[in-house]
């Protein structure tokens, strides 16, 4: 059964240690009782299977079995979009797409449509490498009034009351009192075609609802948009003939494309992104964690992605070999994207395309979309420990339908939530949370509550990516990827789901505050300095540039934005395709 119109997501609680819980299986809204800000007891246990896999990354070579960049399969090529098949990039024969409807183009400096104000958070400056956060802590297993203490890039304390501030590690720390703000793990985006995030639905929306992902990729306007992205990224796999030589080699704007997408996530509290950028670059080391690249600051990269379906037999065999060797701990692949029998048949194809049948039916495999799937497919996925990434807004924009999340829940599939890309209506993961919550209320009989949705974007996401030993929860020893949002501390999970970039008080990545309310800038890195931006009427700061002058790491927000704006105008003038893609999609839309 496929649910039509707009979309939602999944999960169920498996009881385990505080830093290892995840949601999977059948639940009702009452299954997750708000623990309250003073009660730190663990929630009721859910179904069985309470032990998480060991996801510790092994040391060793990062190369995959195909000898290509370890983040992509040999036949995945450069990312060409969420639904493309191996030949989709060359298809240009469909009818012209209608222009997208008018939308609010609010730039980072625009204030249209927002009455948000900054938080009342305050900072007492101390040691830059010791930061004490005071507020309502969501781990996310439990919620309580308390503190989180960060030393360097690591959380050393997350406890109720003042247990952290009285520890020896807190001596001389910078103190941020969030004034009742909600302190939570940074959001983890498990699926975002990040190089496309210079566009939004003013640039392209499908001209109709489609049955599967091989149809809309032939729309002329989409093909023209793809050419622009390929040109700017200097992608030899599908780069248009008209692309100026100035974008070759060192003239490539792939760094700027990636950073723009990461900035759109970072201001929404997103600290890690599976961006499917293709061959990685050193510049990916800044801003949000490019978690599917060696520049993820995790010491190793054990994530493979496949933007195309089906992968070749040799690539599939290589992935299975990587599973056996421990070189790949998470394999994210588009599959079952659509609502017809052709899309449904992709699940069977996934199990038969390799030399060893069904070797891709494995705990490492994360299915992206699965829109065509039903109880049979989800039961098979659960049996083999496979996971699901759900992108409802994009699904509905393309197919007028979304994944049968209740069936996935009933089968005990672990599910994550992700925005796919910015042409589907969700500019960031907070947008996708809003969409999922509304869809659940309207079409899933309120099966999910805010706590479930928070799990999908934190602990569940980390588990699916096999990084739950480092990310996804607030606990001692975890990396300090943290978001703080304004809202009702009495219902902190709902505050997270309702948050917008304007109400994100701060975003911390690896112990460094890179975005936040203007008043908190003294707690941010002082060199080389941050930039002031206006997010929907709220003064904020962004720390984009790094001190290194290598690999474009010293680029400012203004420089990144300026380069992309100028390039889009340049390509509109020379492409000859009759379509314009300037101006640059805004950092945030204020609606």
pLDDT digits (tens, 9 = 90+) for 405-425: 999 999 999 999 999 999 987
Q: Torsion angle, CA of 16/21/26/30, rounded to 10 degrees?
A: 90
Name the nearest CA neighbour of 388 among 57, 11, 84, 75.
11
If one compares 350 and 44, the residue with the highest pLDDT of the two is 350
Q: For the chain, how many structural domains are there in total? A: 2
Boundaries of domain holding 253: 188-469
The pLDDT assigned to 481 comes to 99
The pLDDT assigned to 278 comes to 83
First to last CA, the chain: 33
**Residue for token pair 């290598």:** 550
Handedness of CA 67, 69, 73, 74 (dihedral sign): negative
Name the nearest CA neighbour of 173 among 224, 203, 114, 128.
128
Long-range contacts of 518-522 (CB under 8 A, 24+ apart): 518/118, 519/118, 519/121, 519/122, 519/123, 520/121, 520/123, 520/176, 522/123, 522/125
pTM score:
0.84
- The mean-pLDDT minimum among 102-106, 231-235, 524-528 falls in 102-106
Written in H, E and C, the secondary structure of 299-316 is CCCCEEEECCCCCCHHHH
The pLDDT assigned to 268 comes to 99
State yes or no: pLDDT of 44 exceeds 50: no
What average pLDDT does the structure give for the chain?
A: 84
Taking residue 45's Cβ as centre, other Cβ atoms within 10 Å add up to 12
- The mean-pLDDT minimum among 280-294, 456-470, 503-517 falls in 280-294
> What CATH number did the domain enclosing 363 receive?
3.20.20.140
If one compares 191 and 88, the residue with the highest pLDDT of the two is 191
CA–CA dist 472, 184 (Å, integer): 9
* Cα-based distances in Å from 482 to 7, 78, 139, 509: 27, 31, 10, 7
Q: pLDDT per residue over 328-360, tens digit each?
A: 999 999 999 999 999 999 999 999 999 999 999
Name the nearest CA neighbour of 224 among 199, 188, 191, 248.
199
Looking at the fold, whether 355 and 447 belong to one and the same domain comes out as yes
CA–CA dist 40, 202 (Å, integer): 45
Q: pLDDT per residue over 235-257, tens digit each?
A: 877 899 999 999 999 999 999 99
331 CA to centre of own chain: 15
State yes or no: pLDDT of 309 exceeds 60: yes
CA–CA dist 266, 272 (Å, integer): 9
Nearest-5° Cα angle at 496, 420 to 134: 135
Looking at the fold, whether 204 and 156 belong to one and the same domain comes out as no
DSSP, residue by residue, 562-577: HHHHHHHHHHHHH--S
The pLDDT assigned to 60 comes to 33
Looking at the fold, whether 203 and 153 belong to one and the same domain comes out as no
Is 171 within the bounds of a domain? yes
The pLDDT assigned to 81 comes to 54
Helix (H, G, I), strand (E, B) or coil at 262: helix
The pLDDT assigned to 75 comes to 33
Helix (H, G, I), strand (E, B) or coil at 212: strand
Helix (H, G, I), strand (E, B) or coil at 184: strand
Contact 421, 432 (CB under 8 A): no
Q: What is the DSSP letter of 470?
A: T
The pLDDT assigned to 460 comes to 98
Query: 23 falls in which pLDDT band (50, 70, 90)?
Result: low
The pLDDT assigned to 378 comes to 98
Nearest-5° Cα angle at 367, 306 to 14: 140
Q: Which secondary-structure segment (H or E) carries 270?
A: strand 270-273
- The mean-pLDDT minimum among 71-75, 149-153, 174-178 falls in 71-75
Across 201-214, average pLDDT: 92
Looking at the fold, whether 287 and 413 belong to one and the same domain comes out as yes
Written in H, E and C, the secondary structure of 59-102 is CCCCCCCCCCCCCECCCCCCCCCCCCCCCHHHCCCCCCCCCCCC
Judging by DSSP bridges, how do beta strands 143-151 and 154-160 pair with one another? antiparallel
- Report the phi/psi class of residue 401: left, alpha or beta, with left for phi > 0 and alpha for psi in -120 to 50: beta
CA–CA dist 514, 531 (Å, integer): 10
Token pair belonging to 453: 């949705």
Looking at the fold, whether 286 and 322 belong to one and the same domain comes out as yes
Is 258 within the bounds of a domain? yes
Across 155-166, average pLDDT: 98
DSSP, residue by residue, 412-427: T-EEEE--B-TTSS-S
Across 55-67, average pLDDT: 33
Is 86 within the bounds of a domain? no
If one compares 30 and 294, the residue with the highest pLDDT of the two is 294
Looking at the fold, whether 231 and 363 belong to one and the same domain comes out as yes
Looking at the fold, whether 220 and 317 belong to one and the same domain comes out as yes
Residues in CB range of 73: below 8 A, 6 or more apart: 64, 66, 304, 305, 306, 311, 312, 315, 318, 319
Is 422 within the bounds of a domain? yes
- The mean-pLDDT minimum among 44-58, 192-206, 350-364 falls in 44-58
Q: What is the largest CA-CA distance in the chain?
A: 67
Contact 140, 451 (CB under 8 A): yes
The pLDDT assigned to 6 comes to 33
The pLDDT assigned to 79 comes to 53
> What CATH number did the domain enclosing 486 receive?
2.30.40.10
DSSP, residue by residue, 242-269: T--GGGSGGG--HHHHHHHHHHHHHTTT
- The mean-pLDDT minimum among 19-23, 120-124, 232-236 falls in 19-23
Looking at the fold, whether 294 and 407 belong to one and the same domain comes out as yes
3-state helix, strand, coil in the chain (%, to 5): 30, 20, 50
Is 578 within the bounds of a domain? no
List the strands of the sheet with 270-273, edge to edge.
Answer: 187-189, 270-273, 289-290
- The mean-pLDDT minimum among 266-270, 299-303, 504-508 falls in 299-303
Q: pLDDT per residue over 370-418, tens digit each?
A: 999 999 999 999 999 999 999 999 999 999 999 999 999 999 999 999 9
Looking at the fold, whether 419 and 487 belong to one and the same domain comes out as no
- Domain final residue, candidates 437, 452, 469: 469
State yes or no: pLDDT of 449 exceeds 70: yes
Token pair belonging to 259: 């950073």
Token pair belonging to 224: 């023209």
Selection from 2-6, 15-19, 559-563 with the highest mean pLDDT: 559-563
Looking at the fold, whether 182 and 307 belong to one and the same domain comes out as no
Looking at the fold, whether 508 and 435 belong to one and the same domain comes out as no
If one compares 134 and 86, the residue with the highest pLDDT of the two is 134
Name the nearest CA neighbour of 382 among 411, 403, 348, 404.
411
Taking residue 348's Cβ as centre, other Cβ atoms within 10 Å add up to 11
Percent of the chain with pLDDT over 90: 73
Is 333 within the bounds of a domain? yes
The pLDDT assigned to 392 comes to 96
CA–CA dist 94, 100 (Å, integer): 17
The pLDDT assigned to 30 comes to 30
- Domain final residue, candidates 469, 501, 524: 469
CA–CA dist 530, 522 (Å, integer): 10
The pLDDT assigned to 457 comes to 99
Looking at the fold, whether 147 and 196 belong to one and the same domain comes out as no
CA–CA dist 375, 67 (Å, integer): 37
Across 32-54, average pLDDT: 30
The alpha-carbon radius of gyration of the chain (Å, integer) is: 22
Query: 308 falls in which pLDDT band (50, 70, 90)?
Result: confident
């Amino acid at each position: 059964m496929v649910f039509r119109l707009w979309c939602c997501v999944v999960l169920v609680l498996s009881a385990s240690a505080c830093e290892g819980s995840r949601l999977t299986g059948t639940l009702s809204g009452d299954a997750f009782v708000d623990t309250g800000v003073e009660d730190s007891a663990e929630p009721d246990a859910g179904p069985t299977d309470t032990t998480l896999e060991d996801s510790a990354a092994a040391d060793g070579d990062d190369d995959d079995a195909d000898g290509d960049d370890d983040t992509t399969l040999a036949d995945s090529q450069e990312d060409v979009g969420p639904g493309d098949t191996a030949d989709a990039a060359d298809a240009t024969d469909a009818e012209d797409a209608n222009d997208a409807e008018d939308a609010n183009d609010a730039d980072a400096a625009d204030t249209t449509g927002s009455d948000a104000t900054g938080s009342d958070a305050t900072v007492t400056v101390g040691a830059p490498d010791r930061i004490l956060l005071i507020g309502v802590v969501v781990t996310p297993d439990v919620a309580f009034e308390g503190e989180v203490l960060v030393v360097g890039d690591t959380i050393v304390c997350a406890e109720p009351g003042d247990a952290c501030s009285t520890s020896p590690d807190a001596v001389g720390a910078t103190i941020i009192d969030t004034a009742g703000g909600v302190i939570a793990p940074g959001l983890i985006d498990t699926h975002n075609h990040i190089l496309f995030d210079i566009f939004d639905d003013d640039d392209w929306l499908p001209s109709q609802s489609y049955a599967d992902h091989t149809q809309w990729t032939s729309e002329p306007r989409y093909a023209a948009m793809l050419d622009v992205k390929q040109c700017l990224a200097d992608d030899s796999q599908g780069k248009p003939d008209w692309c100026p030589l100035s974008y070759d080699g060192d003239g490539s704007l792939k760094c700027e494309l990636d950073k723009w997408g990461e900035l759109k996530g970072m201001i929404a509290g997103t600290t890690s992104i599976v961006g499917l950028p293709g061959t990685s670059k050193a510049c990916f080391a800044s801003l949000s964690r490019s978690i599917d690249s060696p520049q993820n600051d995790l010491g190793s990269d054990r994530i493979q992605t496949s933007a195309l379906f089906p992968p070749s037999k040799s690539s599939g065999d290589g992935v299975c070999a990587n599973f056996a060797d421990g070189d790949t701990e998470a394999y994210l692949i588009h599959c079952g994207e659509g609502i017809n029998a052709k899309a449904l048949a992709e699940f069977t194809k996934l199990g038969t395309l390799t030399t060893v049948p069904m070797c891709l039916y494995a705990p490492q495999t994360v299915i992206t979309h699965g829109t065509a799937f039903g109880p049979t497919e989800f039961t098979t996925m659960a049996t083999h420990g496979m996971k699901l990434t759900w992108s409802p807004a994009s699904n509905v924009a393309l197919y007028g339908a979304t994944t049968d999340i209740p069936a996935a829940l009933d089968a005990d599939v672990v599910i994550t939530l992700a925005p796919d890309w910015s042409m589907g209506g969700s500019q960031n993961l907070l947008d996708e949370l809003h969409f999922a919550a509304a869809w659940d209320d309207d079409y899933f009989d309120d099966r999910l509550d805010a706590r479930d949705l928070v799990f999908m974007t934190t602990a569940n996401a980390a588990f699916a990516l096999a990084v739950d030993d480092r990310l996804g929860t607030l606990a001692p020893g975890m990396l300090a990827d943290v978001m703080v949002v304004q809202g009702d501390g009495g219902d902190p999970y709902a505050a997270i789901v309702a948050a917008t970039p304007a109400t994100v008080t701060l975003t911390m990545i690896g112990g460094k505050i890179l975005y936040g309310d203007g008043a908190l800038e003294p707690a941010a890195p002082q060199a080389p300095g941050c930039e002031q931006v206006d997010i929907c009427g709220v003064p904020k700061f962004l720390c984009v540039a790094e001190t290194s002058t290598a690999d474009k790491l010293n680029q400012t927000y203004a420089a990144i934005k300026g380069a992309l704006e100028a390039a889009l105008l340049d390509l509109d003038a020379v492409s000859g395709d009759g379509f314009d893609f300037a101006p640059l999609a805004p950092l945030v839309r204020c609606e």
